[in-house]
Amino acid sequence: MGNVVAAYFDLDGTLLNASSEKTLAGHLARRRPWRIPWGTVAWTAGFLSNLLRGRAVYDAARNRGHFSLTSWEVLEHHSSHLAEERLKPCIPPEAWEKLAWHREQGHRLVLVTATVAPMAEAMGRVLGMDAVYGCGPPERTGILSGSERGWSVPRRKGKVPVVQADAEANGHDLEACYGYGNTLADSWFMALCGHAIAVSPEKALRRHAEENGWDIVDWRS
């Protein structure tokens, strides 16, 4: 597989015009209304704890308190249903077309997302990805505490080692690879790729893309 090219994609806001994790959390909350106050308390506790440990506000806010007391099995079950029934219609036609184009070129399709792993993997199946990297621990059993300790967390700069490791394991030359994202947080992994494409970018990423000569596309149809 030495010279195979990969296309690395972010999920929410890039391939999907929706928030996959918020969709999952909202669905669980509606099924079990008691999760709303509990999840709020657990998320706030995690946020404050992360701040006290010196994490940036963005990272501190991305704890999984809203899934505390939920089993991985439950997340996997509901993720599969929601990905197919609720989120698949939120994938823009341009995303399907680009994925098809990469397949025609013989490229590997890789999803790299901060979304919790069961939902990331469910969306990967819907999209037909060859590899999926989401947030979660190496072994997913039992009940979630809300903490991300021991997890792989491909978020912001955390996506960089994930992409680098995938490229090395699969013999990719990153200069020949593609990176797609929609926020400045994605720019770290996009910059590794010889072809960086800003998808319906937020203002900061649009400016960054323009300054670096990256392609800019709009998939918000």
Tens digit of each residue's pLDDT, the chain (221 residues): 445 899 999 999 999 999 998 899 888 877 665 445 544 554 455 555 655 666 554 554 455 556 766 788 888 899 999 999 999 999 999 999 999 999 999 999 999 998 999 999 999 999 999 999 998 877 776 676 555 554 556 567 889 999 999 999 999 999 999 999 999 999 999 999 999 999 999 999 999 999 999 999 999 86
User: Residue 139 has what pLDDT?
Assistant: 79
Where helices occur in 106-154 by DSSP H, the ranges are 117-127
The CATH number of 6-217 is 3.40.50.1000
User: Residue 28 has what pLDDT?
Assistant: 83
Q: Could you give the C-alpha distances from 139 to 15, 104, 143, 144, in angstroms and in order?
A: 27, 34, 12, 12
CA torsion, ordered 98, 171, 130, 154, to nearest 10 deg: -90
User: Residue 21 has what pLDDT?
Assistant: 87
Backbone angles phi, psi at 181, to 5 degrees: -155, 170
User: Residue 39 has what pLDDT?
Assistant: 45
Domain boundaries, the chain: 6-217
User: Residue 128 has what pLDDT?
Assistant: 98
d(CA 199, CA 205): 9
Quote the pTM value.
0.82
